[in-house]
Amino acid sequence: MKCNLQTGSDADFSIIDLDKEWTVEPSKLESKGKYSPLAGTKLKGKIYMTILRGELVYKDDEGVIGEKGYGELVKSKVE
């Protein structure tokens, strides 16, 4: 089941630090493209960690730590 944190659900979610201020640096983005129109922009609020299917796959001070190819699309049964 999607959209909840119960036994048997996907357990996909991110924890966000709403007070963390940071400046966009394209070279540090987790993207193949190292360009951003927001380069140099100061933002408030940053993802601290991401959990995918109950496994830690991203942490702010370590970057992507999940195994490559671990993610998969799980279509919602809600119409």
Per-residue model confidence as pLDDT tens for the chain (79 residues): 556 677 777 778 899 999 999 999 998 887 878 789 999 999 999 999 998 888 899 999 898 888 877 766 767 777 6
- Structurally, the chain folds into a number of domains equal to 1
Report the CATH number at residue 56: 2.30.40.10
- Could you tell me if residue 44 is inside a domain? yes
Tell me, what DSSP letter sits at residue 9? S
Phi, psi dihedrals of residue 28, rounded to the nearest 5°: -100, 0
Cβ neighbourhood burial of 42 (10 Å; 0-12, 13-18, 19+): exposed
- Could you tell me if residue 72 is inside a domain? no
Average pLDDT, the chain: 84
Q: What is the pLDDT of residue 21?
A: 97
* Distance between CA atoms of residues 51 and 57, nearest Å: 6
- Could you tell me if residue 21 is inside a domain? yes
Q: Full-prediction pTM beyond 0.75?
A: no
Domain range enclosing 39: 13-64
- 8 A C-beta contact, residue 22 and residue 45: no
- 8 A C-beta contact, residue 78 and residue 4: no
- Could you tell me if residue 41 is inside a domain? yes
